[in-house]
Structure 1
Amino acid sequence: MAPQLMLDLFGEALWLVVLLVCVIILPSLMVGLMVSMFQAATQINEQTLSFLPRLIITLGMVMWAGPWIVTRLLDHFRLIFDAIPQMIQVG
């Protein structure tokens, strides 16, 4: 029972990491795509033009989704902490 429980917790942790990264990174990728299309249309090849909007969007997403991210991480930590007795069961 313990190995299956550990695999389930590990799988949930990996899924949580993917979910949290997507919440932060996907808006930045969308803004980067829009800036790239703007640069291609206007032929402005300035590297800092694409960096600053992505940085601002990423920081904004961390600020906006931060409480939800922390709540999800704490819930998963509590789940792991509550599962410790089942993990160390001998038998």
Structure 2
Amino acid sequence: MTPEIALGLFADGLYLTVLMVLVIVGPSLVVGLVVSMFQAATQINEQTLSFLPRLIVMLITIMIAGNWMVMELMDLFNRLFNSIPNLIG
């Protein structure tokens, strides 16, 4: 296995990881920003107020995008598993 192939495999894995994290964390960040703006406008400084909406949005996002994330992960694994003979020899 050449360094270029190893870097390509690493890049594919890192790209998929970043993509999955962005899909899960992105909506949570948007909801956190909205709740923070609401807290600033009403001067409510309660830490638990922002936690529950972000948790709910994150769980809903995982429920909606979970199938896609598992399929992408399985696709990457299958590509890696099927390319083992080419990588070794």
**Would the TM-score normalized by the shorter structure come out above 0.5?**
yes
- Normalised by the size of structure 2, how large is the TM-score? 0.95
Q: Structure 1: state its 5+ residue gaps.
A: none
Q: Does the aligned pair in 2 maintain the 1:25–1:58 contact within 8 Å?
A: yes
| TM-fit CA distance, 1:6 | 2.2
Q: Structure 2: state its 5+ residue gaps.
A: none
Which structure has more RCO (C-alpha within 8 Å, separation ≥ 6)?
1
Identity %: 58
Question: Is 1:28 aligned with 2:28?
Answer: yes
Q: Does the aligned pair in 2 maintain the 1:6–1:87 contact within 8 Å?
A: no
Hey, what does 1:65 align to over in structure 2?
65
Deviating 4+ runs (over 3 angstroms): none
| TM-fit CA distance, 1:5 | 2.0
Whichever residue aligns with residue 35 of structure 2, its letter is V
Hey, what does 1:15 align to over in structure 2?
15
Q: Number of aligned pairs?
A: 88
- Normalised by the size of structure 1, how large is the TM-score? 0.93
Whichever residue aligns with residue 16 of structure 1, its letter is L
Q: For the aligned residues, what is the CA RMSD?
A: 0.8
Q: Distance in 2 between matches of 1:10 and 1:79?
A: 13
Q: Distance in 2 between matches of 1:32 and 1:7?
A: 35
Show CA shifts across 1:8-40 (max 9, x none): 111011000000100000000000000000000
| TM-fit CA distance, 1:66 | 0.3
Whichever residue aligns with residue 80 of structure 1, its letter is L
Whichever residue aligns with residue 65 of structure 1, its letter is A
Whichever residue aligns with residue 12 of structure 1, its letter is D
How do 1:40-51 residues align onto structure 2 when only pairs under 5 Å count? 40-51=40-51
